[in-house]
Structure 1
């Protein structure tokens, strides 16, 4: 029986696109680069297109052939090669976690910094009750058991904010409309969620801004997104979500979102004023 084709995961795509960029920067063709490895060009092409695996030792040899000297580049890409097919804790939930969502969780676990602009409270900052309510509201065909499992996944994802060594740097810009959400079945849900935002903002690696209802126009009016940044040379990745699922913007195509983030931040309330607004809303839920 023939082998199944390799699934081009986000990690493999990041590795392949970075290797392609470094090869181009070195002025080498596919043929010349492959020849240094004793390969045929199609093999290297498949590696760059994330449809074939590459061993860590082969990454090291390629980087030397491309004239890379930065040890951080070696470390970042060797780790990507090592972890490209690695299974994470989320595989336990494979029955409810779609492949695109699993890809995002792996990105999140590798990331150094994420900036998220959202019309709901970001998953990394949600309470379990808020997660259950919102998942139930936006899903079209999930059972109560699946909704509970997806809420568990959101809670487990938050471990990146307190991971040992270097926790994820998370910058959340939340539209104020999300903070006025009310849940009829559990009236205390939003109060507890606002309290969690205030507690999270005390962590040194978390920054929260609120986009006021009366903001100036900004690029975020076109929709929410997450800009995911990594250590070393690997390119940024942008996640776009809608009712049809997730779309990834990678490589140079992600560059415009960096400027968009800066303009969205500038249009939002300052960090100090944002926390004051969240505090005001939290106090209002207790009246």
Structure 2
């Protein structure tokens, strides 16, 4: 069993395996909690990857589910042991969207639709600082600096020389017109975006206003895929809490939506020209 390197991914994949085993055993979470003398909420947290699990708990659960393949049990126990390791972002304290950072760290590809701002992985330092500061009215200067450092470190993954993240972004035209920070900040950002969109692992498409109503009017979303895995996740960013959809039936509509957005948007080369022309707006 291949395990992704991020502890976030390990916990979520391990939780998914435990949930599958429980259902195969024909047991409810309440029944499992009663047999193991733990709370039902603990079982729920373990199965969703929101709580670390130790190898002994994995062994006990597998015995309860009557799993006889000991090599499979050993693989799950190793995953549990490795999932206790901390990701690099933990050193920065209570970072918002830390679950997403963990998933992003191990993703093979991300397809995003952004209706409001340039995606974090493509932001310049000045633009990123302005977004963080202006979208969080009560944030302190110290918090801005910390979040900015995390955001810039995330970008290392997007441009890793050995395993670059495949990034495909569809931007609403509004993103290019919205003045974030100063005019100089916007010029620098659009020049940076124009440059990055020429990279082989980055594809940018602009969804022009002339396209009319489209499947993305409901808001931002990102589709993540992972190496050595048939699964993936859809990430929906919200102000107070984020949502992750991992069931194939939940992910499928978003893939259909993204296909339509790509078809309605300008092609990559036309989009690069559109971005270059948008620089005149911020002179």
TM-score category of the 2 structures, normalised to the smaller one: 0.7 to 0.9
> Which residue number in structure 1 is paired with residue 86 of structure 2?
87
> Which residue number in structure 1 is paired with residue 147 of structure 2?
150
- Mapping 1:198-209, distance limit 5 Å: 198-209=194-205
- Alignment of 1:182 onto 2:179: yes
Q: Which of 211, 214, 223 lines up with 1:215 in the alignment?
A: 211
Which runs of no fewer than 5 residues in structure 2 stay unpaired? 1-6, 28-34
Deviations 1:170-229 (A, max 9, x none): 11111111111224x632011100011111112211111111012133211111111111
- In 2: Cα distance, 1:199 partner to 1:78 partner: 45
Q: Match of 2:205, SS?
A: strand
Alpha-carbon offset, residue 81 of structure 1:
4.5
Q: 1:213 to 1:49 in 2, by over 3 A?
A: closer
> Which residue number in structure 2 is paired with residue 36 of structure 1?
none
Taking structure 1 as the reference length, the TM-score comes to 0.75
- In 1: Cα distance, 2:78 partner to 2:192 partner: 34
Alpha-carbon offset, residue 234 of structure 1:
5.3
Give the CA RMSD over aligned residues: 3.3
> Which residue number in structure 1 is paired with residue 236 of structure 2?
240
Q: 1:223 to 1:54 in 2, by over 3 A?
A: same
> Which residue number in structure 2 is paired with residue 53 of structure 1?
53
- In 2: Cα distance, 1:262 partner to 1:80 partner: 34
Q: Match of 1:214, SS?
A: helix
> Which residue number in structure 2 is paired with residue 4 of structure 1?
none
Which runs of no fewer than 5 residues in structure 1 stay unpaired? 1-7, 32-39, 68-73
Q: Match of 2:211, SS?
A: coil
- Mapping 1:48-127, distance limit 5 Å: 48-50=47-49, 51=51, 53=53, 55=55, 81=80, 83-95=82-94, 97-98=95-96, 101-119=97-115, 120-127=117-124
> Which residue number in structure 2 is paired with residue 230 of structure 1?
226
Alpha-carbon offset, residue 283 of structure 1:
4.6
Q: 1:211 to 1:13 in 2, by over 3 A?
A: same
- In 1: Cα distance, 2:78 partner to 2:209 partner: 43
Taking structure 2 as the reference length, the TM-score comes to 0.76
Deviations 1:7-40 (A, max 9, x none): x95642233224544x59xx94267xxxxxxxx7
Deviates more, 1:161-170 or 1:8-17: 8-17
Q: 1:30 to 1:124 in 2, by over 3 A?
A: same
Is the Cα contact below 8 Å between 2:52 and 2:84 reproduced in 1?
no
- In 2: Cα distance, 1:152 partner to 1:198 partner: 23
Q: Which runs of 4+ in 1 moved over 6 A?
A: 40-43
Alpha-carbon offset, residue 272 of structure 1:
1.1
> Which residue number in structure 1 is paired with residue 259 of structure 2?
262
Q: 1:110 to 1:221 in 2, by over 3 A?
A: same
- In 2: Cα distance, 1:243 partner to 1:161 partner: 24
Is the Cα contact below 8 Å between 1:176 and 1:213 reproduced in 2?
yes
Q: Which of 5, 25, 39 lines up with 1:29 in the alignment?
A: 25
